[in-house]
Structure 1
Amino acid sequence: MVKNFGIYVTVFTLLFVFILNIFEKEAKVTTDFDLNIMNEVMKHNGQMTGWSLFAREELPDGQTIHDLEMLMEKWKKRFPQFLWTKKVNSDRMTISGTVSDNTLHYVENLQIVANLKEQNIIQGFIMYELNGTKWNNEVKNEIHGKIELILGEIFQDSTTFFSCIKGEFDGNIDEVIVKKSQKIVDSFNGEIIEKLEEKNFTSLTVHSPFFSHDIQTENGPFNMQIALRENGIDNKTTYIIGTPIITIEY
């Protein structure tokens, strides 16, 4: 009896450790940021050729031109590495700061776009943008740090994030594009909510447990989009994946 009890304890312990490992792996996926999740999932599915991150937030009510100019001066002191410009015409003011990192191969842009209305009433938004062509642990850590920075110093609590990656598959693919797109969906444990299929192009709207920013539709919530296109010239298939939507041209 004691021997059997020891066996039960051992089996239970091993089962507990197994469940804990699964939980830790799932937690790592679900708490990671979207760009890295997409790159981790897709790193064995073709070659990544570019990525982008957009963060956007509406300007608060009651802002004046003076307020935005003061914000620009604050950002100049906080981010001196940026090259700053300001453009103003009769109905719009645009403030932009740009910097590039030639080592990690990305460009960073911080922008205020304000539509100037009658009686000095201003409507507009703040936008932060990152675009790059390389992804590794060094880039991942750098971008993660920047996300934490902009959340803490630039935006408040109503920020909308959009992440995209793009890439291509070798010309040796022996699968039709629909089957390849389904394999990508399966890699994200996704459920197809909507789809558009043409001869050399497919676009999928998907819900994946890997991402948390859902958009509601009549067919159900979704949080990612996938687009694939076959190029008959070089026999390659390009892909674009975005959360919660694709924000770059495809």
Structure 2
Amino acid sequence: MVNKLLVQVTVCTLLFVFILNTFEKEAKVTNEFDLNKMNEVVIKHNGKITEWSIFAREELSNIDTQQLEEIYSHLKSQFPQFLWTKDINSDRINITGTVSDQSLHYVENLQIVANLNEKNIIHGFILYEIKGSKWNKNVQHVIKVKLDDISSNIFHKTTVFFSCLKGEFGDKIDGVIAKKSKEMVNDFKGKIIEKLEEKDFTSLTVQSPYFSYEMQTENGSFNVQIALRENGIDEKTTFVIGTPIITIEY
């Protein structure tokens, strides 16, 4: 089971990278309140959130080192509260800015990762991630302001924000996690596009009217994924919900 789970996580990660590379130019804006709808369903099923995240990425291509420095200077001036580090070697640049809020329990990361070719032309991306362990009205307000700021000051194309919730149900669901996951699908008024069901693990790819950004599979379009896993160690059931895909390891 452990090996299968590692394969599932690896496949999800590779799929996420592929989708970001493939669909970035065609992306439509989805809003941060995807997390609100997911949270409503979690509360209905007496779940507890342990982690949430919002993630976005934009490609950098065919720029030189001077242009990259201008981007870096702009980010530092727009986000002076971030702690910035820069690591440069002969063929790679990694710039990272980090800030956290202890009262609201979240961390923000801004990152520029770029590769240099022999002519010092850069190909890479800007990555933004905010993640935390509490989701409430105060956090929601702060996140809305931050994402508006990020959208106007960092990303210059139409950008998708990938939203994800992770948590647990208080008790083990006694081998019927497939039933529980389908109840959650019904709460999203969803249609199951693809599914993987095992004794202690279920993963569903779903089309729901509540979420705007859709992706395609051979079986149809989807915009939310749900995964549940029973943990035999502490007798709890963990869940992960992501729009349009799961981006947190599970």
Fold match (TM-score > 0.5): yes
Q: Which residue of 2 aligns with 1:9?
A: none
Note if 1:41 corresponds to 2:60: no
Instruction: Let me know the Cα RMSD of the aligned residues.
Output: 1.6
Q: Which residue of 2 aligns with 1:131?
A: 131
Q: Which residue of 1 aligns with 2:52?
A: 51
How many aligned residue pairs are there? 220
- Is the 2:114–2:124 Cα contact (8 Å) retained in structure 1? yes
Q: Which residue of 2 aligns with 1:83?
A: 83
- Find the aligned partners of 2:31 and 2:81 in 1 and give their Cα distance: 30
Q: Which runs of 5 or more structure 1 residues have no equivalent in the other structure?
A: 1-29
State the Cα distance separating 1:70 from its structure 2 match: 1.7
Note if 1:207 corresponds to 2:211: no
* TM-score normalised per structure 2: 0.84
Q: Which residue of 1 aligns with 2:74?
A: 74
Q: Which residue of 2 aligns with 1:140?
A: 140
Note if 1:232 corresponds to 2:232: yes
Runs ≥4 residues deviating over 3 A = 172-175
Q: Which has the higher contact order (CA 8 A, sep 6+)?
A: 2
- Find the aligned partners of 2:58 and 2:132 in 1 and give their Cα distance: 22
**238-247 or 151-160, which moves further after superposition?**
151-160
What letter is aligned with 1:189? K
Cα 1:94–1:31 change in 2 (3 A) is closer
- Find the aligned partners of 1:85 and 1:64 in 2 and give their Cα distance: 20
Q: Which residue of 2 aligns with 1:155?
A: 155
- Is the 2:175–2:199 Cα contact (8 Å) retained in structure 1? no
SS in 1 for 2:44: coil
Larger radius of gyration: 1
- Is the 1:208–1:222 Cα contact (8 Å) retained in structure 2? yes
State the Cα deviation string for residues 171-191 of structure 1 (Å, max 9, x = none): 164561110110111111111
State the Cα deviation string for residues 208-228 of structure 1 (Å, max 9, x = none): 111011001110000111111
* TM-score normalised per structure 1: 0.84
Cα 1:110–1:70 change in 2 (3 A) is same
What letter is aligned with 1:166? K
What letter is aligned with 1:87? D
Question: Percentage identity across aligned positions?
Answer: 63
Q: Which runs of 5 or more structure 2 residues have no equivalent in the other structure?
A: 1-29
What letter is aligned with 2:133? T
**75-84 or 165-174, which moves further after superposition?**
165-174
- Find the aligned partners of 1:94 and 1:221 in 2 and give their Cα distance: 35
State the Cα deviation string for residues 227-246 of structure 1 (Å, max 9, x = none): 11001121110000111111
- Is the 1:203–1:227 Cα contact (8 Å) retained in structure 2? yes
State the Cα distance separating 1:147 from its structure 2 match: 1.1
